[in-house]
Structure formats: C-alpha cells, structure tokens
Amino acid sequence: MSNPDSILREIEQMRGEGNLPIIGPERGKILDEAVRNAKPRRVLEIGTLVGYSTIRIARLLPKGGKIIAVERDPKIARVAKRNIERAGFSDRVEVIVGDAKYVLPTLTGEFGLVFIDASKDEYFRYLKLVEPRLKSGSVVVADNVRVFANDMKDYLSYVRTSGNYRSRYHEPTTRSSADIIDGVEVSEFVNPEI
C-alpha cells in the first residue's frame, strides 16, 4: 500500500501541470475539518474526478467507514479507482459510474457527510435528491461556491435561508499564488421536524 498522502501530492502535482479541477490542499483542509467534526460512517461524494477528495476523506474515516463516490465519466472513474486502490482504500470506497441525477435516487441508507463537486448548476438538484438520506447533524460540503456562485444561486439560497441547514462559507487562510480565490460552503442539516 502506498502512503495516501504521497498519492495526494502526486495528484496535486498533476493539477499544477494542467487544468485538473480538484479541491486541492488549501480548500481540502476545510473538507478535512468538516470530516473530522462530522465523524461520518457513510459518505457520499458527488463528482469524484480522479479520486483526490475521495482519498482525503477516506484517510479520516473511522474503522468500517464507507464512501460511495459517483463519477459520470467512465474513463475518469477508472483513474479514480486506480488512485484509490494505490492509496489503500479500495475496501472503503465504492465508485459508481453514472450521472448523479439518476444514481442518487437509487441509493439507500443514511449519509453522515455529502461532498458535492460536480456540475455547478446542478448542486441544488443533487441536494434535493440526497436530502431524504440525511439525518439531523449530517453535513453537506459544496466546493467552488465563490467562483461559481451565479451557477448555484438556488443551492446557496436554500442552504442559507431555508431553515433546514446551519450553513457557513469558508475560504482558505492560505493559498498559492496560482490559486483562484474560491471557497467551500459547509452546511449542517438540521431536521426541522425534531
């Protein structure tokens, strides 16, 4: 088994050489903190790409923790599976290839954490599809909410004003000079019926 952190660094280097839209190390620390605080046993990731965020999450899960990772592109999903395997997390991660709009309604069980990093104009739709699988205290982390704020106005308005979430915008405190200023929305589901 490789060291998961070395696989993460390898993917970060690939990001620097091309346009690989991963959460990266700076915003990744915000994701790490959300995982540590939520202590989820089951995680749903919407938009896996090459498995970078999947590996970040998997290394923080408790024993027996599981991730369902949804990726639309079969070629990219194969790269993700390979990276996840190299990081030693194949036993914790199930990669499902398909469009999240069709995959999410087929899922069962509850999720303690959901990470959304897929089609920006579909964030709200993804959330509404997965919301029946959330329990009070589940956390939803959404990437790219500053750069793509216009594409996800409905999502941001909902998590910030519906009363169903306690939601907060986070920006990295440090970033490399090449990074575009962007942020992450961390939203805790508060079941209003409880």
Q: Which domain holds residue 55?
A: 4-189
Task: Specify the number of domains making up the chain.
Answer: 1
Q: Is residue 34 part of a domain?
A: yes
Q: What are phi and psi of 131, to 5 degrees?
A: -55, -40
Q: Is residue 153 part of a domain?
A: yes
What's the predicted TM-score (pTM) here?
0.91
Can you give the pLDDT of all 194 residues of the chain as single tens digits? 468 877 778 877 776 555 667 777 788 899 999 999 999 999 999 998 888 899 999 999 998 999 999 999 999 999 899 999 999 999 999 999 999 999 999 999 999 999 999 999 999 999 999 999 999 999 999 998 998 999 999 999 999 999 999 999 988 776 555 556 788 899 999 976 54
Q: Is residue 104 part of a domain?
A: yes
Q: Is residue 96 part of a domain?
A: yes
User: Which pairing describes strands 111-116 and 134-143: parallel, antiparallel, or unpaired?
Assistant: parallel
Q: Is residue 194 part of a domain?
A: no
Q: Is residue 156 part of a domain?
A: yes
Query: Which residue, chain included where needed, has tokens 């990669």?
Result: 95
Q: Which tokens is 112 given?
A: 């303690």
DSSP secondary structure, 141-172, as one string: EEE-TTTTTTTTHHHHHHHHHSSSEEEEEE--
CATH number at residue 85: 3.40.50.150
Is residue 154 exposed (0-12), middle (13-18) or buried (19+ Cβ within 10 Å)? Answer: middle
Q: Is residue 173 part of a domain?
A: yes
Could you give the CA distance from residue 131 to residue 124 in angstroms, rounded to a whole number? 10
